[in-house]
Chain A
């Protein structure tokens, strides 16, 4: 409890409040900018956090993560271009609302729904993470193996593109995970004599390349188009009738989003897409969807912010990233010398509660920013590409070079920029590749560790209750489509048209 109060006390420190405010503003801005997502920005700004204290650095990254998911909805609603991939579902109904002259109402409900979803998930995080951490001593290599297999089984649903493409990218990520010194044999694989590669591909340059550089190349191939922007006269707080109509959507999506966030690999984008489907399925006004349904905005917005708190649960408690952005936050923690995992809860509870407090604060700050500044943030899209993208390139190079002071990492980043560009041209989403890279290494190492512990008898996997449970859940997840079809008797799926972003 002392740690809880000490953690919350950071909110009385002007420096910390300044950091959280800065993170939130940066988050909303990059969230609103099409092309720059929360995860890209977290990767780009990671080197800056090294100069901060651990609490400030993580609070900064956490605030960006929270706010970017809200910021994405501003451009999704006003110019039909999701500023952040997680807002792609918001555009389905947000833009039609704006066309109907209801831009203010759409942004109002998006702000409130985002905040409710975000705050709900932080409370789940505060309760669930320590519980999970307590169980962490029963998490040995066999349990991590089962968890990673579960994560890999989710890969098909990670990105916004079609399942089979996601699987191909995920498998490519698993292949890339084999680069470097093999922990079990001490043999170098696919390093081609480059000493810097013996630790494997660094996550941050790969992410920066896949997300930032590839976007830069995509943008370079386009003419500067000033998108048609919907007029926004005034921000409107949702009316009581709106709340009543959206209560179910927000409640359902907050729970769903948090849960999807907790699952390894799946993050805000998946949470928003699934919640959109579910909101529609459970709505009384199904025929409004796609034409400007306020529920269709509230649902995905609550869900993508709820996924933030959810994906921090496994990140902090087990050291397994719950999404691409938390993978970067994890890298940030390690750079700060903070080892995520169960020890964190015993050794540095104050740091954890400070992270929770800063996430709560970020969720409250963007309500204010959203309600009073949405008009301003919408103007961000007017920044000329000729200024924006060269700036991104500079940050990307510094970000890749910084942590290890290695030019190899810069080349890795540029290489993955080209790979990412080609992938996206052919409709592949980079997110599953990242999760494949993270989980692939885990699967391989924990399998070999487990077999050593089990004296090479793989049947012993089935003697561990947590492993067994996770295997069963994985099987259920894989069979879910068939099960659902059997139950619903072939009812038509409510999946919206896939966005290839």
Chain B
């Protein structure tokens, strides 16, 4: 019942006076069919980036699962704050969903997202869970994770990362703390590609990257993966041990998932969750996951995804503070 004024507002804004009349004539008991118009997916990534690609891969099979068209809105800028601000400016009626990454969560934690607060996010479904992998160049003297960790205890290693306060920066810092290493030197780059080149060229000692970012160099033997920060071994790297296996309880990954903002009706959240999961269980999305070295288990529903978001908020706050990024 409480959704009525909202529907009317949206409808009149679109100039659909006739639709409103029809709806009223249908009687107060009639539920509007959801979804009945295109759903907008807001991402902070530019067209062609990894996150944008994830959104578009999901969209291929989503129309069949949800019975609605999807469009992507790329709102770049402010490490996700532009996309959060845009989503907040739209009606909370389920027709605007966000594809978020840890970047959004970190932006929220730093209070840089305007009116949107960390508690406003409602997870729908997780899309990708791409583990971070510790890698060194082929010319590096360190052949195994143990070699590398042993040497790192006295020598501050140079790691390539994307931006300060980014997911991989937090992971580098967390890994160093948990393994008791000397404070690492962090060299920020614009993207994973630059980091790979500098690993091969010997300008960096190590980096935490996703498998896909260095796939061709790993296959060519130019980059050596040493350690996987995942709970279990990766299918694409069966030889590489996990951090847990060598006694360091560290799990880091690049995570992407869908979310809406608080205020979206509960029944619509359920429809979206079911539809998104169904779409992402489809062959096309699963093939996409496989080709980037991820497991099909990346796709999980609302409960597990929300728990992960909450967990990240609680650990991320401390991590940012320890890096001196937030007070």
Chain A residues whose CB sits within 8 angstroms of the CB of B189 once the complex forms? 183, 449
Chain A residues whose CB sits within 8 angstroms of the CB of B185 once the complex forms? 452
Q: Which positions 58-94 of chain B face chain A at CB distance < 8 Å?
A: 73-79, 81-82, 85
B48 touches A343 (CB 8 A): no
Residue of A nearest to B164 (CB): A186
Chain B residues whose CB sits within 8 angstroms of the CB of A136 once the complex forms? 197
Residue of A nearest to B220 (CB): A346
Contact of A138 (CB < 8 Å), options: B48, B74, B188, B201: B201
Chain A residues whose CB sits within 8 angstroms of the CB of B163 once the complex forms? 181, 183, 186
Chain B residues whose CB sits within 8 angstroms of the CB of A199 once the complex forms? 76-77
A184 touches B188 (CB 8 A): yes
Q: Is A336 an interface residue (CB 8 A)?
A: yes
| Contact (A141, B216) CB under 8 Å given A196-B82, A198-B77, A404-B74 | no
A406 touches B75 (CB 8 A): yes
B85 touches A403 (CB 8 A): no
Q: Is A52 an interface residue (CB 8 A)?
A: no
Q: Is A156 an interface residue (CB 8 A)?
A: no
B216 touches A347 (CB 8 A): yes
A197 to B76, CA, bound (A): 9
Chain B residues whose CB sits within 8 angstroms of the CB of A403 once the complex forms? 46-47, 74
A452 touches B158 (CB 8 A): yes
Interface flags, A179-191, vs B, CB<8A=1, else 0: 0010111100000
Q: Is B243 an interface residue (CB 8 A)?
A: no
Q: Is A337 an interface residue (CB 8 A)?
A: yes
For chain B, the count of residues having a C-beta within 8 Å of the partner chain is 37
Contact of A337 (CB < 8 Å), options: B48, B75, B220: B48
A339 to B50, CA, bound (A): 12
Chain B residues whose CB sits within 8 angstroms of the CB of A336 once the complex forms? 48
Taking the closest CB of chain B, its distance from the CB of A348, in whole angstroms, is 10
Chain A residues whose CB sits within 8 angstroms of the CB of B85 once the complex forms? 195
Residue of A nearest to B199 (CB): A137
Q: Is A453 an interface residue (CB 8 A)?
A: yes
Q: Which positions 414-473 of chain A face chain B at CB distance < 8 Å?
A: 445, 449, 452-453
Q: Is A477 an interface residue (CB 8 A)?
A: no
| Contact (A404, B165) CB under 8 Å given A196-B82, A337-B48, A342-B197 | no
B78 touches A141 (CB 8 A): no
A197 to B46, CA, bound (A): 14
Q: Is B53 an interface residue (CB 8 A)?
A: yes
A225 to B188, CA, bound (A): 54
| Contact (A405, B74) CB under 8 Å given A138-B201, A335-B47, A452-B158 | yes
Residue of B nearest to A452 (CB): B187
Taking the closest CB of chain A, its distance from the CB of B193, in whole angstroms, is 5
| Contact (A337, B203) CB under 8 Å given A449-B189, A452-B158 | no
A45 to B191, CA, bound (A): 27
Residue of A nearest to B73 (CB): A405
- Pull 28 A–B residue pairs with CB atoms less than 8 Å apart, ordered by A: A50-B47, A137-B201, A139-B197, A141-B203, A184-B164, A185-B164, A186-B163, A196-B77, A196-B78, A196-B82, A198-B79, A199-B77, A335-B48, A336-B48, A337-B48, A337-B49, A342-B197, A343-B193, A343-B197, A346-B216, A346-B220, A347-B216, A405-B73, A405-B75, A406-B82, A449-B187, A449-B189, A453-B203
Task: Name A residues whose Cβ lies closer than 8 Å to a Cβ of B.
Answer: 50, 136-141, 181, 183-186, 194-199, 334-337, 339, 341-343, 346-347, 403-406, 408, 445, 449, 452-453
